[in-house]
Structure 1
């Protein structure tokens, strides 16, 4: 699922509502917002503004997770044992910015409001195991990583994977944040982009999302800062979220049949893998009687090239390969029909034995 973040009491109300409508138009299904700091005397204004935004999102059938901390509970005189205040605002879940003893969290999952409890999964601790030891309602627990406004403070990749694998193995629905390059603000005065992974901070928003999808560990991808542009939201909505989808540039002279082989099939890697190529072999069965003459031959192929076996390749005619490392094109038996865009080559190692993948033609006007 895709999501957006809103901070309605920091921007004009109507702009926030329009942003929610835009996200809903492109199929975004959840909203992240927070109630972490309220200036004294501003409580009523903030709460009314936030309530209007939340209920507008709910009218679009979007989930809304509200980030909270203990100070707000005290300031608003709300008990952890009665969450009806947040239910009445329209929230479908709450995220606790601070942890408790595990018992409190478990009790929240049985609160009569049926609010989900979102926990922070950017910590490699035994926090969740502790909560689980108090026999919570696991169906109402979801997990989400943090985002990091300060440059060079986002999570390292290996740590991110370790935490995500741990929580995914415990059966949690997982979420993380990506960074819009058009958005101007987040929940705090200072922000130099908002993302979970530090390596994502300057990447295109779709490439951030593709990387997360490739890991197979993240269920929901949320744009952390507001307001992302319509172009960014549309681009995210067009991604496949269940497999890697490579953007490709076709070679000059590639035939319509060759483009069909590339674009119109569900590809998957063979289970008996090798270090030279990713082999989509079942696709060839459809083209056993097709005419695939020699075309755009190269003496050597390089990483990221996409090849299709031509008429001279016997039983391998029609087989599609993605080249993983440079090698000779013996006998000109493979037509080099396309190449993966350079910025996506780092996704190749995510194609494991039996991994599914697809292609789409890159928009070279971007």
Structure 2
């Protein structure tokens, strides 16, 4: 599942929620830690929660003991009517309170700090695993994001107990203050493209990926939804002399190349540009390959030049990490981009 984040002090929160909802995003994270002196934020929180509910977006919220009073509601139970599906509780909730809230809400445990002994104590006390989400932190301060090995081991811990895992990637647009350094779970994802980072989280054991910053940036949500809901991998291609478009992949998985179906031709494909094929090269078999002429492939590793294979383009550098994530049954959407 793909999720977004919205924050009460973001003047574009309504616009961003509406855009996410229109794409089919059905989960969002927010924080309802509202300071005593910010009464105006209470009304804004109620407004944004109502908007998310109208958009069929389930909200998972950071809360404290004082959240109901700040929102002017009688108790946490009233949050459900406002569209809150799950609670991420601060450190001051008693175990009995957590178990009670789990009867009505999904409860997000802090997957970044909760270790095996503490988790088993909660489960033994009666906290139902089916109502739990293991939810990692995001890390605003540079150099404090999680190590990937630790992330994987924590995910394995929760999965062994049947608990799904959520984590964050930074957005591709405006970053959240006050540091404006992105909001990743893994430190390695602070820089670079968030889309490959999201796929890496999924490969490392995350079940749900949220964009931590309020602004996903251009195209990120669309690509994530295409990948998750439609099984489409969108790749950007430089210098392609072959028509862009959507193509199915062969179900038999080759070691060295991605093979695009329905691309062979009975017409002539003269040999040209038969040069070396580094990883990510888009190629077409020429007349020297006989009945294979016209077959289009993308190289998964560096391959030598072959007089039977024309080089017709290349996946852009930023999209090369995606090649390792593509799986049988997916479709490729190749888009031509400027060099």
TM category (shorter chain) comes to 0.7 to 0.9
Number of residue pairs the alignment of both structures matches: 337
**1:1-44 residue CA offsets vs partner (Å, 9 max, x unmatched):** 33222221x344xx4333322322232212211123523x54x5
Shift of 1:61: 0.8
CA separation in 1, counterparts of 2:172 and 2:264?
Answer: 47
CA separation in 1, counterparts of 2:236 and 2:215?
Answer: 29
CA separation in 2, counterparts of 1:88 and 1:318?
Answer: 58
Residue 35 of structure 2 corresponds to 38
CA separation in 1, counterparts of 2:220 and 2:305?
Answer: 41
State whether structure 2 residue 302 is matched by structure 1 residue 326: yes
TM normalised by structure 2 equals 0.80
- 8 Å CA contact 1:266–1:356 kept in 2: the answer is yes
- Equivalent of 1:174, from 144, 165, 170? 165
**1:47-82 residue CA offsets vs partner (Å, 9 max, x unmatched):** 332122111111111101111235658999999xx7
Residue 224 of structure 1 corresponds to 212
- 8 Å CA contact 2:249–2:259 kept in 1: the answer is no
- Equivalent of 1:195, from 171, 184, 207? 184
- Equivalent of 1:241, from 228, 252, 255? 228
Shift of 1:308: 3.8
Shift of 1:267: 4.3
Could you say if the C-alpha distance between residues 357 and 199 of structure 1 is closer, same or farther in structure 2, counting changes exceeding 3 Å? farther
CA separation in 1, counterparts of 2:215 and 2:225?
Answer: 19
Shift of 1:228: 4.4
- Equivalent of 2:320, from 335, 338, 345? 345
- Equivalent of 2:20, from 12, 20, 23? 23
Q: Secondary structure at the match of 2:248?
A: coil
Instruction: Provide structure 1 residue ranges, at least 5 long, that are not aligned to the other structure.
Output: none
Shift of 1:106: 3.9
- 8 Å CA contact 2:196–2:321 kept in 1: the answer is no
Could you say if the C-alpha distance between residues 359 and 108 of structure 1 is closer, same or farther in structure 2, counting changes exceeding 3 Å? same
**1:133-181 residue CA offsets vs partner (Å, 9 max, x unmatched):** 3454433322322111111111223332333344345433332222224
Residue 60 of structure 1 corresponds to 55
Could you say if the C-alpha distance between residues 58 and 363 of structure 1 is closer, same or farther in structure 2, counting changes exceeding 3 Å? farther
CA separation in 1, counterparts of 2:54 and 2:41?
Answer: 20
- 8 Å CA contact 1:118–1:141 kept in 2: the answer is yes
CA separation in 2, counterparts of 1:99 and 1:296?
Answer: 69
- 8 Å CA contact 2:34–2:42 kept in 1: the answer is no
- Equivalent of 1:208, from 194, 197, 200? 197
Q: Secondary structure at the match of 2:209?
A: strand
**1:85-115 residue CA offsets vs partner (Å, 9 max, x unmatched):** 42244311111233867665444322xxx32
CA RMSD of aligned residues (A): 3.7
- 8 Å CA contact 1:3–1:29 kept in 2: the answer is yes
CA separation in 1, counterparts of 2:301 and 2:224?
Answer: 32
**1:223-277 residue CA offsets vs partner (Å, 9 max, x unmatched):** 2222445x356544664126582514254533x4xx56xx32134562xx64xx1
Matches within 5 A, 1:150-165: 150-165=141-156
Matches within 5 A, 1:212-361: 212-213=201-202, 215=203, 217-229=205-217, 231-232=218-219, 235-236=222-223, 239-241=226-228, 245=233, 247-249=235-237, 251-254=239-242, 256=243, 263-268=246-251, 270=253, 274=255, 277-280=256-259, 283=261, 286=262, 290-291=266-267, 293-314=269-290, 320-330=296-306, 332-350=307-325, 355-361=328-334
CA separation in 2, counterparts of 1:234 and 1:78?
Answer: 33
- 8 Å CA contact 2:195–2:224 kept in 1: the answer is no
Matches within 5 A, 1:108-123: 108-110=101-103, 114-123=104-113
- 8 Å CA contact 2:247–2:333 kept in 1: the answer is no
CA separation in 2, counterparts of 1:31 and 1:218?
Answer: 16
CA separation in 2, counterparts of 1:252 and 1:227?
Answer: 31
